[in-house]
Amino acid sequence: MKQSAQYLNFVRLVLLALIVVGQLGCKANKTFETLQSDPAWRQVIVDAPLPAVGWVRGQADTVHIYIEGDGVAYASRHRPSLDPTPRTPTGLLLAREDNALAVAYLGRPCQYVTGEACLPVHWTTGRFSEAVLEAQKRLVDEAKGLAGAKRVVFFGYSGGGAVAALLAARRTDVDLLVTICGNLDHAAWTRLHGVTPLAESLNPISVADRLSNIRQVHYVGSADTVVPPSVVQSFVDQLRPDAPVSVVIVEGLGHGGEDWAKTWRERSLP
């Protein structure tokens, strides 16, 4: 019976992979094509409560997990995008510069893959909702298992920083939380830009106390007008005074892209 269940589970995963690959046809970009053609990166997939996909390179006791940003949330200021897949995947650019023995790059739910459950709310006002976090949590667990890891280090870019922080507050296997241009207080962020509040989303600042025991490094660009240093500082101010946290302001950098990848290449990672 046990072998039969394992076989059925294997068949389910194979079929799911075929479905995902088929669905990715309309979403395929250079990121997907590069990762799919590189044997060093192995794919991980989950299908519930939202479809999500990622890739893992190497094996080690600790895996560095990079979580992508929000991607293309809106087609215009008031019209949601039909596809949140990032045009410039900064999270991947950073992951490629990481020389750790085990590295994972995880898209956010409904990036690179689609399905009936994917609705615009999942990358707009509900981009940090329970459903999104559950799908991302399952993808993290799959990546950790494929890497043979016991511990994780989270690296979250932009909105991926919010996801990483919210997940870290719920886990006991996180050695370090690193964010890059992280949206760690989305209430402050939406007020700053005068945009619709993320009403269906959890806010990292609400779990600051639970995160105060986890070592953290938050990188921000001095020229970042999308998620400026004040948003990160709003979160940091809510940590306990003895929290092991540091904020690194990188002069001249804006929000993501090749410049951050170059900085990552030249910097000794925590």
Query: What are the tens digits of pLDDT across the range 181-190?
Result: 999 999 999 9
pLDDT of residue 27: 52
Look at residues 132, 205, 209, 214 and name the one whose alpha carbon lies nearest to residue 173. Answer: 214
Lowest mean pLDDT among 28-32, 142-146, 148-152, 191-195: 28-32
Local structure of 151: helix, strand or coil: strand
Domain count, the chain: 1
Distance from C-alpha of 97 to C-alpha of 10, rounded to nearest angstrom: 32
Mean pLDDT of the chain: 89
Look at residues 169, 153, 154 and name the one whose alpha carbon lies nearest to residue 208. Answer: 169
What predicted TM-score, i.e. pTM, was given to this entire model?
0.89
∠ CA 114-146-54, rounded to 5°: 25
Domain that holds residue 27: 2-266
Lowest mean pLDDT among 107-111, 125-129, 255-259: 255-259
* pLDDT higher than 80, residue 111: yes
CATH number of the domain residue 8 falls in: 3.40.50.1820
pLDDT of residue 256: 87
Q: How confident is the model at residue 16 (pLDDT cuts 50, 70, 90)?
A: very low
pLDDT of residue 223: 97
Q: How buried is residue 217: exposed, middle or buried, by Cβ count under 10 Å (0-12/13-18/19+)?
A: middle
